[in-house]
A and B are shown apart, each in its own frame.
Chain A
Amino acid sequence: MTNSIRELEDAKVIFVIGSNMTEAHPVISYYVKRAVQKGAILIVNDPRRIDLVNWATMHIQHKVGTDVAYINGLMHEIFANGWAKEEYLRECTENPEVIREVAAAYPLERASAICEVPIEQMKEVARILGEAEAVSVCYTLGITEHICGTDNVKTLANLQMVLGNIGKRSAGLNPLRGQNNVQGACDMGALPDVFHNYQPVANPEVSAKIAKAWGVDKLPTKPGYKKPTIIDKALDGGTKILYCVGDNAVQSDPHMAHTIRAMQSLELFIVCDIFPNITTPYAHVIFPDTSWAEEDGTFSNTERRMQRVRKVLTPPGEARPHWWVLQELGKRLGKDLGFTSANAIWEDMRSSSTGFAGITWERIHQYGLQWPCPTLQHPGTPFLHAQGRFSRGKGLFHAVEWIPPAEWADEEYPFVLSTGRRLWHYHTRTQTGNVAGLEAIFPEELLEINPEDAEKLGISSGDMVRVSSRRGSIEVKAWVTDRSPRGVCWCAFHFEDACANVLTNNAFDPVTETAEYKVSAVKIKKISDGVGWDTPIRRQARP
């Protein structure tokens, strides 16, 4: 997030797109709802009728996978009415002519034809955004899990720069990160092209500096492969060893059959985890890991705040912290990595980073600190690019054209399947599947399907249906609900036996290699009558 969570409460306009935050980030949704109580305008842009719509001023149901066309259309209207912040464009951005050109190509008629949002609604949204003093944009995987995910994010950045909303309080561009420490995994350089603190591996000076800090002669400067490529390469022998920590990849990656074939092709597959899952059966070696309550350390949250995690339990059996395993392997491979404790590792990291250099465990004993925090006196950074002074100098617009999803509904596969998260579960359920209570509330996956579609197919809530894509098929119970728009069905990947990722498309964004989880073409067939159930109208994402 460019900005901080608490700032949302004071926002005047909040534009939420592709984010089911009452389920996936409930505490952030509390602040958004508070803002609405204080009079803020909330625009929820989502093909699905998610719970947050109950608090929204407007709900825009654009067609799945048309975000770029929709936002470009809004920018066209913003420029046409003189709502663009011209001074900001002049002073704070490098190439405003680029965005004028892009917006000019998306008159409302064209944009509306693509995204299927009525022109009047688009005009109203553009007016609200254009006239607002500040707009906070929140997005999640509804934006990124497309073959054009990078384009989607760039388009939102374009919008916020046109509106002059980067670099001030209660505004900005705010991705809500999904997992507890996915921000931290990036911060710490578990990425193929950067070290910790986003220092590029291909930069010879950086590489030399880190090599010196780590006490090695040299480090590889060719960026590595991204996760989907690593998995693909297992099939042609390019990947022979996979060392996998805390990642149930078979269940969480798209096109499950493909992932399994890749795992089976590995010569050495090492898995380090806290529970057996559907990935562990393919392992050659399993290391039992400690859980979140069994070791000391830190997590980085979505607002870049680094916070402490503490050991309160003795781990079961022989489970050991993962860094200890790596230290032992390092020794056996001829290198003492110096991992003597989690805090020692933190200090090792800190000594060769600049943006985190001011963050010590002592300083975050009570409250976390938000990076950048370069010195021990620095108070941390609640929002980035203050006064429109961007980290890179001036804001850069990217010309982005809309492209359709890799796969779309056709005669054979007439529905679009989209996926996401439910309130009651987390990711592949390795944690929540072992929590008394959550399993009882939501014990099995449900396919959400629009009432009109269900009627045509003769499906009632509770019936078992078979959902098939070009990649596989699952059997799942149907939930007939207007949460799904016509033509779109939805289920999550929490349950291994009715998992959306059997069906999802392994088509990727070319830059980030994020898969298009949000769009797969499927067909639905009823296989048996269910018991059915009464569906009282409840806002809690369960039937």
Chain B
Amino acid sequence: MNIELNGKIYEVEPGQTILEAARSHGVYIPTLCYHAKTGGVGKCRVCVVEVEGMRGIVTACTVQVGEDMKIVTESPSLRKHRKMVVDLLLSAGHHDCLSCAQCGNCELQDVAYSLGLTHPSFPQPERKPEDLSSEFLVFDETKCIQCGRCIQGDNCTVINDTLGFAYRGADTKVSFDHDLPIGSSSCVQCGECVQLCPTGALTDKKARGLGRNWELEKVNTTCPYCGVGCQMTLHVDRKQNRIVRVTGREDAFNEGMLCVKGRYGYDFPSSPKRLTHPMIRKNGVLEQVSWEEALDYTATRIKEIVDRDGPDVFSAFGSGRITNENNYAIQKFTRAVIGTNNVDHCART
């Protein structure tokens, strides 16, 4: 099927929305409430476009493409409309970009920037305190634009049934259970809502102040917890040698979803309690030694005992926690160097 987008002809899939069709061809239509995972809900009214033959302006995220549909995504009147919508959103809260954790990674900031909005032009409401009651999530109501992505994600993506809109009219807000503090609610802190939030309303508590988005190196890896093996992106501060935050990879089989351990259990490598040096027991006490001494001692002792009693008195445990390469290495060592098949791991225990 063909459509005409800003005067150019594009081939699109029937059933796509105008927004999806435009995105698939790299045509930018600003939007705040749409996310590929949570779908188009037509709430924020930022993605408005003009369609020939349709009355007024329509939201690109809710209208499906039609054969030979003629669509305009940029015009002075659309820009004026979008500016007003975003101005109202900015004015309804306090989007302190200077200190906001999402700065540089904020869809509202991007839209305001692209529309040239410098400041909210309407009176702003009173500030409200952030919800700091949970261990891992921060909710700042004044930065919430009520796009509903977090609620959609919580109820339809990870399905924990905790989030919803509470109250009516101007009092409407995102609430955890029946408007409980997050820390007292049934929230399992999987962080899906943080990942979906287009503004700085929902952010990661542990990452606060530890690094701007653009300063952190992004590296893809696999989660170190259960056997699901979720794909994640580590946001790393190389200079400080620490992981600052973790996000789920939307393009992998886990669709960006993680659990509380995967998303927030990343700081154990930096613990001061780590084992840092080889040790040998001397006169009953474990003492720090050099690698050379530890390896020489171990090899000598293994050789003595195996020469005396045969290879089958040697056993090795690999592990369900270490890499494939390390597990392969230990089976090869046990079989090829020692000469026994006594190698196993914790799958049974």
Contacts and interface: CB of A to CB of B under 8 A. Distances in A.
Interface of A: 4-6, 24-28, 30, 33-34, 37, 55, 176-193, 195-196, 201, 214, 216, 219-220, 222-228, 230, 233, 237-247, 249, 252-254, 267-268, 270, 273-276, 280-281, 283-289, 291-295, 297-303, 305-310, 312-314, 316-323, 325-330, 332-335, 337, 339, 342, 345-346, 348-349, 366-368, 423-424, 426-427, 430-432, 434-438, 440-441, 512-515, 538-540
B241 interface: yes
Nearest to B297: A285
Contact of B265 (A233, A426, A440): A426
Given A293-B234, A319-B276, A538-B186, A253 B349 contact: yes
A180 B159 contact: no
Contacts of A55: 159
Contacts of B135: 437-438, 440-441
B227 A182 contact: yes
A223 B335 CA distance: 11
- Among A5, A34, A436: residue with most chain B CB under 10 A: A436
Contact of A349 (B253, B315, B328, B344): B328
B36 interface: no
Given A195-B331, A243-B330, A245-B316, 17 more contacts: A177-B226, A181-B319, A188-B328, A189-B328, A191-B347, A192-B342, A196-B331, A227-B317, A230-B315, A240-B314, A244-B316, A284-B301, A293-B221, A305-B229, A312-B236, A426-B226, A437-B135
6 contacts: A188-B331, A245-B330, A268-B298, A288-B278, A332-B299, A345-B329
B224 interface: yes
Contacts of B241: 313-314
Contacts of A297: 323-326
B318 interface: yes
Contact of B188 (A245, A274, A335, A540): A540
B159 A299 contact: no
A26 B346 contact: no
A180 B225 contact: yes
Contact of B301 (A188, A219, A268): A268
Contacts, number: 457
Contacts of B229: 180, 299-303, 305, 307, 368
B345 A307 contact: no
Contacts of A301: 222, 227-229
B127 interface: no
Given A314-B241, A337-B337, A26 B305 contact: no
A436 B257 CA distance: 21
B271 interface: yes
A333 B299 contact: yes
Interface in B187-243: 187-190, 205-206, 217, 219-231, 234, 236, 238, 241-243
Contacts of B340: 220, 224
Size band of the interface chain B makes with A: 35 or more
Interface of B: 135-136, 156-159, 161, 185-190, 205-206, 217, 219-231, 234, 236, 238, 241-243, 251-254, 257-262, 264-271, 273-281, 286, 291, 294-303, 305-306, 309, 311-349
A176 to B, nearest CB: 6
How would you classify the secondary structure of chain B's contact residues: helix, strand, loop or mixed?
mixed
B260 A180 contact: no
Nearest to B282: A284
A30 B291 CA distance: 46
A3 to B, nearest CB: 13
Contacts of A195: 331, 335
B187 A329 contact: no
Contacts of A432: 261, 265, 268
A236 B318 CA distance: 23
B133 to A, nearest CB: 12
B343 A192 contact: yes
B311 A242 contact: no
B176 to A, nearest CB: 11
Nearest to B225: A426
A176 B305 contact: no
A275 B299 CA distance: 23
Nearest to B290: A318
A249 B316 CA distance: 12
A317 B277 CA distance: 6
B276 to A, nearest CB: 3
